[in-house]
Amino acid sequence: MIFAELTFPKALRRKAEPMKWIVLLMLITNVASRLPAAEFDITRFGATPNDQADDTTAIEDALTACGQAGGGTVFVPAGTFILSRRNSESPILEVPPNTTLRGEGTASILKFDPGVNQSNFWRMIGAPVAGGTKNVVIRDLHLDGSNTHPAYVKGETPEHNAGLWFYNKDHVIENVTVMNVFAENFSGDCMAFSYNCRSITVRDCTLRNFIRQGIQMGGSPGSRDYLVTGCRDLEHSVKPGGSTIHVEHARGLKNVIIENNQCRKSILAGGVDGMIIRGNTVTGKLVGNSNSNLLICDNIVRSGGQTGSVMQFGYTKGLTIRGNIITGADSNPTGIYVWGNSRYNDQPGEDVIISDNQITATDHAISLNGAKRVRIIGNVLKAARPLLERRTEGVVSDIVDPDAATE
């Protein structure tokens, strides 16, 4: 016995008795914390790799068992496992709290049944509808949406199919990490995070052949703390209709960081209070609306043949654009466009700093329309006219341009 050798003076024996059990409980808790988490191999629940049979029930059973055990690891070995929708808009695989869903890398494939191309609202992996989830890790997997649509056609393409779909209007989804996941061939989004999500990390993931968005982020009051880092999208054989990374007009979402990603399509971001977009390489555009406290720094943005401004930000309060390399093509008249105060929204673009950027465009390097309290300093500009001002107030600039346009 652990306490066999313990003796106490008679006067202290009564007081020591409760302490003895407290110490014992601490020892048991310490030992339990060192034990490996339970692992639930989906093949032990009936999933068979590469046989083209439906494995949905088996994987659901493995996740259920993991949840009933209080958490652990659901393991997906190498091979292809088929999933199909169950007449519901909820995720097919609901990941319970304290669960890691793990594979062996790109060899561990979760794939939609081909019937996905004839119907909508197939969501492969997400949070339980009945109670939300927390402390979830999804890693080292290959998710295949089986899409055969070559491009988005309104009314025909099932655009609401997705790989990851974390969304719950009634319950919190918290502390979800997605890492080293390859997601491809989705007629909607490869990954989506929205209502009631908090503390979301997407790290070192690879995307390909999405019709809608690569990584879609939204929110609601209380949604906060998203990080997307080290991700990339590969060459597409379909025509994406959206962006590599897209933050919807998510009023209520706070604290988003998008950094060190390689994007063959644009980054679009709107409706966030407190956002950093830093160190990304983008072939496309970088666009944002209705943000506050927004920092855009150290990105390389090349238009990739898209028309319009290479960077454009509307209705933003507190905007810093610093240290970026912004390169337009012949189809890009403007490098950076900041606007506000329109008939749709009376919020001006205000409290803006544009500094230390290298900007190339055919017409204007920087264009301001409906902006106030703007500081422009230290930029290297290559354009027919460095600066265009319309409906501006309080612009301080080091640009010396005898032909500067003001309208």
What is the share, in percent, of the chain residues with pLDDT greater than 70? Answer: 89
How much is the pLDDT for 1?
40
The whole-number pLDDT of residue 85 equals: 87
pLDDT 10s digits, 367-393: 999 999 999 999 999 999 999 999 999
* For the chain, counts of helices (H) and of strands (E): 2, 37
Give yes or no for residue 35 having a pLDDT over 50. no
Q: Among 122-136, 210-224, 311-325, 337-351, which stretch is predicted with the lowest mean pLDDT?
A: 337-351
Task: Give the tens place of pLDDT for each residue, 41-87.
Answer: 999 999 999 999 999 999 999 999 999 999 999 999 999 999 998 77
> How confident is the model at residue 330, as a pLDDT?
86
405: number of CA atoms within 13 Å, CB side?
15
Check if the beta carbon of residue 2 is closer than 8 Å to that of residue 21. Answer: no
Query: What is the pLDDT at residue 31?
Result: 40
Q: Is the pLDDT of residue 169 over 50?
A: yes
HSE-up (13 A, CA, CB side) for residue 118: 4
Enumerate residues 6+ apart whose C-beta is below 8 A from 196: 132, 167, 168, 169, 170, 171, 172, 173, 220, 222, 223
Which candidate, 197, 215, 198, places its Cα nearest to that of 206?
215
- Placement of tokens 């030992």 in the chain: 31
What DSSP designation does 129 have? T
DSSP element (H, E) containing 279: none
Q: Which has the closest alpha carbon to 203: 135, 261, 263, 264?
A: 261
What whole-number distance in Å separates Cα of residue 176 and Cα of residue 199? Answer: 7
Please determine, for residue 5, whether its predicted confidence score (pLDDT) is greater than 50: no
- In angstroms, the CA 101 to CA 92 distance is 14
pLDDT band, very low/low/confident/very high, at 15 (cuts 50, 70, 90): low
Question: What is residue 4's predicted lDDT score, i.e. its pLDDT?
Answer: 43
- In the predicted model, is pLDDT for residue 27 greater than 90? no
Predicted confidence band at 88 (pLDDT cuts at 50, 70, 90)?
confident
Q: Return the domain boundaries, the chain.
A: 37-229
Question: Which pLDDT band holds residue 233 (cuts at 50, 70, 90)?
Answer: very high
Percentage, residues of the chain above pLDDT 90: 74
Contact in structure between 101 and 138 (CB atoms under 8 Å): yes
Range with the lowest mean pLDDT among 28-42, 96-110, 142-156?
28-42
Q: Which residues pair with 143 in a beta bridge?
A: 110, 183
pLDDT of residue 402 exceeding 70:
no
Residue 276, both tokens: 């950093």
**CB of 326 closer than 8 Å to CB of 380:** no
For residues 276 and 332, the model is more confident at: 276
The per-residue pLDDT for 19 is: 54
Which residues, including other chains, have CB under 8 Å from residue 32's CB and lie 6 or more apart? none
Strands (E), 290-347: 292-297, 300-302, 311-314, 317-322, 325-327, 334-339
**pLDDT, mean of residues 350-359:** 98
**Rg (the chain; Cα; Å):** 26
Considering Cα of 239, then 220, then 121, then 99, what sign does the dihedral take? positive
Q: Can you name the CATH fold of 37-229?
A: Pectate Lyase C-like (2.160.20)
Query: Which helix or strand (DSSP H or E) is residue 27 part of?
Result: helix 10-34
Task: Give the pLDDT band (50/70/90) at residue 347.
Answer: confident
pLDDT digit string, tens, across residues 245-303: 999 876 789 999 999 999 999 999 999 999 999 999 999 999 999 999 999 999 999 99
Choose from 95-104, 110-119, 157-166 the range with maximum mean pLDDT. 95-104
- What pLDDT does residue 405 have? 53
Q: What is the pLDDT of residue 156?
A: 85
Q: What is the mean pLDDT of residues 125-137?
A: 95
Tell me the two tokens of residue 213. Answer: 């968005």
Looking at residue 358, its pLDDT comes to: 98
What is the DSSP annotation of 204-273?
A: S-EEEEESS-SEEE---TT-EEEEEES-EEPPPSSB-SS-SEEE---TTEEEEEEES-EESS-EEEESEE
Helix (H, G, I), strand (E, B) or coil at 144: strand
Least confident piece of the model among 132-146, 163-177, 236-250, 298-312 = 236-250
Confidence of residue 10 (pLDDT cuts 50, 70, 90): low
The per-residue pLDDT for 237 is 85
Residue-averaged pLDDT of the chain = 89
